[in-house]
Amino acid sequence: MSDNQSATAQTTPATIRFEDFGLSADILRALADQGYVNPTPIQAQAIPVVLQGRDVMGAAQTGTGKTAGFSLPIIQLLLAHANTSASPARHPVRALILTPTRELADQVADNVKAYSRYTPLRSTVVFGGMDMAPQTAALRAGVEIVIATPGRLLDHVQQKTLNLSQTQILVMDEADRMLDMGFLPDLQRIINLLPKQRQNLMFSATFSPEIKKLANSFLNKPVTIEVARSNATAENVTQIIYKVEEEAKRQAVAHIVRERNLKQVIVFSNTKIGASRVARELEKQGLKASAIHGDKSQAERMAALEAFKQGGIEILVATDVAARGLDIAELPCVINYDLPYNAEDYVHRIGRTGRAGALGDAISLVTDKDARLLVDIEKLIKKQLAPTELAGFVPHVGHGAHGGEGREGREGRARRDEGRSGYGGERGAERRPRRDEERSGRSERNAYAPAQRKEKIDPWFLKPYEPQQPAPVSALESGTPASKTSSAAKPQKTKVAALLGGMPKR
Ligand code: AMP
């Protein structure tokens, strides 16, 4: 990419308006419906470049407005082909947007639908875990923009319900996540199905060497667009580090929620078991909390998310994978109950707050044992994060009053003391640090190595789709994209959610 152009935008001059990009009146009307006044920095940078037909490598987290940054110019470009014919042949797939998860696919599809609502362009979303029939019907009717997770997309290609031979624009959204989830082979298969002559847009929150390698392999002289320095954290997020003893962390979360009168907060736990325990304990303390993680059913996760969005739940305790791609408007605060094993996950986590220009707080609870993880994060974001005391917080002694917190807390500590690393709550962990990481203290991501990432991957969320008949334990239970294995390949993994407590009682 030697002749890359590069653009870095931190702020958008208030004078830039959507009208300035030459977008059609139909698109501008849809934007007015959304209440958008000015483009965000990534939109200001990306829209003109995409309209020129250039390839783009965008360094942007979810929450920066990147979806409109690529959707709006795509809709504009495709308007040249827009028509109201009933013939499917007049509506070939011209733009393909790939996302790592169903949730993100759904969100992107909602946005595309909203922005194109006054145009004759058609769009649809295909992802796994859903009946294929309605998706097939939509594809057969003809659709210009398809938003998809990789596995289900390949299912449709295989069943010949989808033809990609006229696709002129490819978007890879959250490319880093797709690599993490082991989708590289599926991505390569999909790329091979597309015409050679096409426009490629790739967006990624982080720019690891493997992302650059992928970019080099399929982008053509891309314009690099950054809304903030690579791997830097959003400037409108205030990062706060509180030193708290492991046993007192759950009380500390309750204290913070009450002191700050938080009505919507995501608490990140490194483990599924940890997430359930924290949610249960907060419920015992009279707070409205629920856990979402890979041992919860799709229906439970959706219900918890909906309740959270509607205000029925104040605290969503989530693992990294479960929280991926969630777009919750105006989330004022996230709390890292555990520091993530991987410094890049810290960037993703705190990107849940401070979205689209709003202010947010990212609070992390750390113990002495987290020092090394904190150093990793500081190196990545190039910023010092000094731990402070949590003012006014006096942990109760004799944690038995808190529903077994003492016992569980001690167990947690005992487990950590067994190992050298101090990484908490290994039982039920979504990912243990690799041995080399433990030794070096660095959470490096070396090359595409799905096998090494398996333990990080939470089966439900890693699975972009589930084969239809029978509804299965999928290949992705083992971290392998489902298109590669049969549903009979692996026995049903024991679901422990029932043992852990699920949805809130109220
Ligand atoms: P995204 O990063 O695409 O997930 O967008 C994050 C949030 O910002 C979404 O809720 C969008 O609806 C919102 N958003 C996107 N563009 C704008 C804009 N120009 N002005 C205000 N909000 C926006």
Q: Regarding predicted confidence, which is higher, 182 or 64?
A: 182
**36 Cα nearest atom in ligand 1:** 20
Mean pLDDT of 82-88: 97
Give the mutation target among 17, 18, 20, 34 for probing the ligand 1 site: most ligand atoms within 8 A of CB: 34
Give the mutation target among 19, 36, 42 for probing the ligand 1 site: most ligand atoms within 8 A of CB: 36
Return d(Cα 377, Cα 339) in angstroms, integer.
Answer: 9
CA of 139 to the centre of ligand 1 (A): 27
Residue 358 is predicted with a pLDDT of: 62
Residue 228 is predicted with a pLDDT of: 57
Pocket flag, ligand 1, residue 103 (CB < 6 Å): no
- Provide, rounded to the nearest whole percent, the portion of the chain with pLDDT above 90: 45
Return d(Cα 255, Cα 379) in angstroms, integer.
Answer: 30
Which segment of 106-115, 183-192, 289-298 scores lowest on mean pLDDT?
289-298
CA of 387 to the centre of ligand 1 (A): 32
Nearest to 430 by CA among 292, 327, 280: 292
CA of 356 to the centre of ligand 1 (A): 6
CA of 68 to the centre of ligand 1 (A): 7
Identify the CATH number of the domain defined by range 237-423.
Answer: 3.40.50.300
CA of 323 to the centre of ligand 1 (A): 18
Considering the chain, what is the average pLDDT of its residues? 76
Most confident range (mean pLDDT) of 283-287, 340-344, 492-496 is 283-287
CA of 69 to the centre of ligand 1 (A): 9
Residue 441 is predicted with a pLDDT of: 27
**Which residue has the least CA distance to atom 16 on ligand 1?**
65
CA of 66 to the centre of ligand 1 (A): 7
Buried b (16+ CB within 10 A) or exposed e, 293-307: bbbbebebbebbbeb
Residue 442 is predicted with a pLDDT of: 26
Pocket flag, ligand 1, residue 68 (CB < 6 Å): yes
Pocket flag, ligand 1, residue 479 (CB < 6 Å): no
Looking at CATH, the fold of the domain delimited by 6-226 is given as: Rossmann fold (3.40.50)
Mean pLDDT of 470-485: 32
Query: For 291-309, how does the pLDDT look when each residue is reduced to its tens digit (9 = 90+)?
Result: 887 676 667 777 788 888 8
Residue 140 is predicted with a pLDDT of: 97
CA angle 217, 219, 224 (to 5 degrees): 120
Which segment of 30-39, 261-270, 429-438, 489-498 scores lowest on mean pLDDT?
429-438
Q: Any residues with CB less than 8 A from the CB of 115 and at least 6 apart, and which?
A: 27, 30, 31, 34, 68, 71, 72, 75
**64 Cα nearest atom in ligand 1:** 2
Gyration radius of the chain over CA positions? 23
Query: For 156-179, how does the pLDDT look when each residue is reduced to its tens digit (9 = 90+)?
Result: 999 999 999 999 999 999 998 898
CA of 304 to the centre of ligand 1 (A): 23
DSSP class of residue 61? -
**Which residue has the least CA distance to atom 19 on ligand 1?**
39
**Annotated domain spans of the chain:** 6-226, 237-423, 459-499
Residue 255 is predicted with a pLDDT of: 93
Query: For 9-32, how does the pLDDT look when each residue is reduced to its tens digit (9 = 90+)?
Result: 444 555 789 999 999 999 999 999
Q: Comparing 6-226 with 237-423, is the CATH topology the same?
A: yes
